[in-house]
Chain A
Amino acid sequence: EAGVTQSPTHLIKTRGQQATLRCSPISGHTSVYWYQQALGLGLQFLLWYDEGEERNRGNFPPRFSGRQFPNYSSELNVNALELEDSALYLCASSLAVDRILPTFGSGTRLTVV
């Protein structure tokens, strides 16, 4: 069974640009979560999608947004990139009824220069 896959693995963008990160959940999982892991800050919850809808978002500005597609894959968009957006972005998925045990992907490392 394939795990949670994220693409790209690495992404380098210039300040002010937009970044799009992608996540494919484990087959059968309907919930997708996004976390940001910036240096020294641990994992910060960004967004949670379930059945195509945004269920919750963390304390991040509106330029962080995303969506979930009918096949449950998800996209995270970061607009107007700032240097402090440089981080590892982790996606996780879970069954809707067992959202308390998500499986994580290997992440996308975003570098803003």
Chain B
Amino acid sequence: AQKVTQAQTEISVVEKEDVTLDCVYETRDTTYYLFWYKQPPSGELVFLIRRNSFDEQNEISGRYSWNFQKSTSSFNFTITASQVVDSAVYFCALSDRNSGNTPLVFGKGTRLSVIA
């Protein structure tokens, strides 16, 4: 069965600090996709990144970076030099192609507060 665990419920950092959000997943399949979404106070889920299980290269996009490690089933997200606008709830999600008609499975989210 698919499962996504975000152990950090809430994180609070001071502006300009770096912060890493953890994500650990479980799946029996060899083909799967991992995602990160940002949910600002407006409620909409904003897509940040999708990685497939065959691509373990780390990715950097501006202040955001992602570390995908199949050996530890983790897909961690780091924000460098955090800003107040980064304050939001961040969700990690998993989609398992071989599990039939199952859409995205989400973790419970991590609420990030960046304090000025």
Name A's B-contacting residues (CB within 8 A).
33, 35, 40-43, 45, 48, 55-56, 88, 90, 92, 99-107, 109
Contact = CB atoms under 8 A, between A and B. Distances in A.
Interface in B11-56: 33, 37, 42-45, 47, 50
A55 B101 CA distance: 7
Contact of A106 (B43, B47, B106): B43
21 contacts: A42-B108, A43-B109, A45-B104, A48-B101, A56-B103, A90-B43, A90-B45, A92-B45, A100-B33, A100-B50, A100-B104, A101-B47, A104-B37, A104-B44, A104-B45, A104-B47, A106-B43, A106-B44, A107-B43, A107-B44, A109-B43
Interface of chain A, main secondary structure: strand
Contact of A43 (B97, B101, B106): B106
B87 to A, nearest CB: 18
B82 interface: no
A102 B106 CA distance: 13
Interface string B79-116: 00000000000010001010011111111110000000
A102 B103 contact: yes
Contacts of A100: 33, 50, 95, 97, 104
A111 to B, nearest CB: 14
A41 B108 contact: yes
Given A45-B105, A104-B44, 11 more contacts: A42-B91, A42-B109, A43-B91, A43-B106, A43-B109, A45-B103, A48-B103, A55-B101, A90-B45, A100-B97, A106-B43
B86 to A, nearest CB: 19
Contacts of B95: 100
A40 B107 CA distance: 11
Contact of A99 (B44, B103, B108): B103
Enumerate the 9 nearest inter-chain pairs by beta-carbon distance, A residue then B residue, closest first.
A42-B108, A104-B45, A43-B106, A106-B44, A56-B101, A107-B43, A100-B95, A55-B101, A106-B43
Contacts of A102: 103-104
Contacts of A101: 47, 50
